[in-house]
Amino acid sequence: MYQRGQHVMRVDGPSYSTQTISSGNTGKTEARESSESNVVREEGAPGAQGPDSTSRFDDAPAAHRERLLPPPPPPPPAPAPEPWPVPEKNLKRGDSGEEVKLLQDALVELGYLTHEQVATGPGLFGPQTEAALEKFQGDRGLTAHGRYEPATREALSKSLAGSERTGGKTQQPSMSAEAAFITQFTSEYNPDGPRGSTNCGPASLAMSLAYTGHMPPGLTKEQQVDHARALMSPRRASEFTEVTASDGTRVPLLDRDHELTGGTMVSDGIQGAGLTSRYGQGWESLDQQLAAGNPVIANGATNTDWRAQFPERMGRGDIGHLNAILAKTPDGKYLVADPLHTGGPVAMTRQQLSVFFSPTGGQPSFNALQGASRGAGTGATAGASAGASAGSTVARLLDEAAARVPPFKPEPFTLPAMGVGVANVAG
């Protein structure tokens, strides 16, 4: 989280009544977020001093939306899914028929089309289907020509192999959003958390992984945050510590609560969990990812209007921020998990959520956890083993894995210059 000018941000858990804010351990650093590469750089600058370095909560505002209640227990496991059918013949723009509809259904399942887009031309290979197929081909390292041919057929079959047939619905989450929720500071949602941190990025990634079953089992909330930070920092394996998950796997941790999330860290963390990081912009792209069961880590900022929407306490201050958007609810709202909120996840309309994206004109900007909807499987194993040894062998393996991933595409938008604030609980 970030502090603008002399304005400060403070948060607390429900058991504390007094909060203070500092701009770091020295009080003399300010951060600026690059407008081109999203890299956070620290620069020497006066920190907040005197009365302006403390803040208090306003009285909790009236709830503007419902709190989410835990869902009922999940149904019994479904029988093993049948293979997803794919078209057998070659297809191109201008074709029509049942084979095209099969292709469209497969692209919906993988998050490249929405049901609404298909409804405008079911069975018609038009520009939207062509564009979606080009995106799929590019993501799989194929020539993005937009034609359905043997190489694309094989890649599509492999991509669908782990997907459950659920009658057009995405796979159910591994746990409720309430159970997955984590604050970036000490609270009922993170009892072992730090008094203050800049953990909005790691906490958001940890919630997304836990929600979809890609978090090693048996970790405390704070261990989940530290594991997410380790995944986000693959080239710092020599600094990792380890714990053993309840399934016996060794899990790397990186306890750096006051370090910023910048550069490619979000993308690295998603990839470190065995998933694909896909940068997206706009509501249509966001809805496609959520429809496919893929949570996203959203880039935005908090302000008075944003904080006023939450049913329980949020801190003061205008700050750049990251949070998790886990899914859409049955009535079409967005399931938002903001690690600064003391009251857990909330459901928001598009208009309400657009307030968070004020730096980008109300349009979403995010990194999606593509492939998260497939369940834990190899993803949790990859995440647990990514830093199993802190030696040079692991660092080498991580570098080799990173080399196989397409280069990160910098976010093409400009964020305002902001400082860095750390939320602390007074003793």
**Do both 413 and 319 map to the same domain?**
yes
Angle of the 127-139 helix axis to the 150-160 helix axis, nearest 10: 70
**Do both 230 and 343 map to the same domain?**
yes
Q: Give the pLDDT score at 385.
A: 37
pTM of the model: 0.56
Whether 21 maps to a domain, the answer reads yes
Q: What is the DSSP letter of 92?
A: -
Amino acid at 398: L
Note whether 226 and 257 are within 8 A (CB): no
Whether 393 maps to a domain, the answer reads yes
**Do both 114 and 55 map to the same domain?**
no
Whether 86 maps to a domain, the answer reads no
Domain count, the chain: 2
**Do both 325 and 367 map to the same domain?**
yes
Instruction: Compute CA distances 309 → 65, 143, 166, 273, whole Å.
Output: 7, 45, 35, 32
Whether 75 maps to a domain, the answer reads no
Which of 137, 160, 183 is a domain's end point? 160
**Do both 22 and 64 map to the same domain?**
yes
Which of 160, 186, 201 is a domain's end point? 160
**Do both 190 and 133 map to the same domain?**
no
**Do both 219 and 329 map to the same domain?**
yes
**Do both 196 and 274 map to the same domain?**
yes
| Nearest Cα residue to 409 out of 230, 277, 298 | 277
Number of other residues whose CB lies within 10 A of the CB of residue 15: 10
Whether 73 maps to a domain, the answer reads no
**Do both 61 and 114 map to the same domain?**
no
- Supply the range of the domain harboring residue 324: 2-68+174-425
**Do both 153 and 216 map to the same domain?**
no
Q: Give the pLDDT score at 19.
A: 33
Note whether 382 and 272 are within 8 A (CB): yes
Note whether 33 and 262 are within 8 A (CB): yes
| 427 residues of the chain, pLDDT tens digit each | 433 333 333 333 333 333 333 333 333 333 333 333 333 332 333 332 222 222 233 343 433 444 555 555 555 665 555 678 899 999 999 999 999 999 999 998 888 888 888 888 999 999 999 999 998 898 888 899 999 999 999 988 888 875 443 343 444 556 789 999 999 988 999 999 998 888 999 999 999 999 999 999 999 999 999 999 999 999 999 999 999 988 888 999 999 999 988 889 999 999 999 899 999 999 999 999 999 999 999 999 999 999 999 988 886 667 899 999 999 998 899 999 999 998 999 999 999 999 999 999 999 999 999 988 754 433 333 333 333 333 333 334 444 544 554 443 433 333 333 333 333 332 2
Angle of the 200-211 helix axis to the 221-232 helix axis, nearest 10: 110
**Do both 200 and 334 map to the same domain?**
yes
**Do both 215 and 334 map to the same domain?**
yes
Which two tokens mark 378? 């190899």
Q: Give the pLDDT score at 85.
A: 87
Instruction: Compute CA distances 402 → 135, 267, 407, whole Å.
Output: 21, 10, 9
Whether 387 maps to a domain, the answer reads yes
| Nearest Cα residue to 300 out of 210, 207, 416, 203 | 416
Q: How far apart are CA 345 and CA 343, in angstroms?
A: 7
Whether 81 maps to a domain, the answer reads no
CATH of the domain at 224: 3.90.70.10
Q: Give the pLDDT score at 280.
A: 94
Which of 160, 183, 210 is a domain's end point? 160
Instruction: Compute CA distances 367 → 19, 63, 276, whole Å.
Output: 32, 29, 10
CATH of the domain at 121: 1.10.101
